[in-house]
Amino acid sequence: MTLKKTDRRITRTRRMIIEAFTLLMEEKGFEAITVSDLTEKADINRGTFYQHYKDKYDLLEQSEKEIFEGLNKIVVTFWHHANYDVEKVMKVDDLLPLSIQLFEFIGENYQFMRVLLGPKGSPSFQNKLKHVIIDTLLHRFSPFLKEDHVMVPPDYLLAYISSAHLGLIQHWLESGMDRSPEEVARILSQTAIFGPVKVSGIQI
């Protein structure tokens, strides 16, 4: 079954809507935005917007979904390639390439993520992203935890790590991505080494 190619007009129209959405969120905040605002800023017909999205809430939902799906796809693809087995001992540096890819993806969606995570963005986005980090990423490492080595309750550990990740991502975005994805991935890796990793018992 061959994958049907999307008409480039659809892709283009959606990109224009997202760009307008991002600018308007920064300008006036999600709640104050109207569909008319969006279509004016995107320079498209109002009817066209309704062809793509039900309303502005649907737009937010689908936009966030795309971000989460993008992140998830990266992790799934990485895992598939890495072909990890519980028998193998995992080293922290094994995850550096994954980290870099994730930060590159975030960088590609910089404006949108920065706005969403900012003061005028979606209040629930932070929470959703945190859960994505937990479900998509951190739960994959559960099998690698040496249960008799775990010094703290796992749920607290996950809450700690995911919030730390989120905080670091937010700082990177707020400072205009002043470091490369590689650099920030290393910062994350090295910060984790002398923190959560040790308490988890994963070999360094």
Among 5, 43, 83, 176, binds a copy of itself (CB under 8 A): 43
Residue 58 Cβ vs DNA, minimum distance, rounded to whole Å = 9
Q: Which is nearer to DNA, 34 or 77 (CB)?
A: 34
Torsions phi, psi of 121, nearest 5? -90, -150
Residue 58 Cβ vs a copy of itself, minimum distance, rounded to whole Å = 23
Are 196 and 160 in contact, with CB atoms under 8 Å apart? yes
Distance between CA 13 and CA 18 in Å, rounded? 9
Residue 152 Cβ vs a copy of itself, minimum distance, rounded to whole Å = 51
Among 2, 4, 6, 8, binds a copy of itself (CB under 8 A): 8
Site string for a copy of itself, 79-98 (x = CB under 8 A): --------------------
Residue 109 Cβ vs DNA, minimum distance, rounded to whole Å = 20
Among 12, 139, 146, 198, binds a copy of itself (CB under 8 A): 12
Are 129 and 166 in contact, with CB atoms under 8 Å apart? yes
Distance between CA 95 and CA 119 in Å, rounded? 31
At 38, list the tokens. Answer: 């969006």
Among 26, 52, 160, 179, binds DNA (CB under 7 A): 52
Distance between CA 123 and CA 142 in Å, rounded? 29
Buried b (16+ CB within 10 A) or exposed e, 37-76: bbbebbebeeeebeeebeebeebbeebbeebbeebeebbe
Residue 8 Cβ vs a copy of itself, minimum distance, rounded to whole Å = 6
Are 187 and 167 in contact, with CB atoms under 8 Å apart? no
Binding site for DNA (CB under 7 A): 5, 7-10, 12-13, 34-37, 43-48, 50-52, 54-56
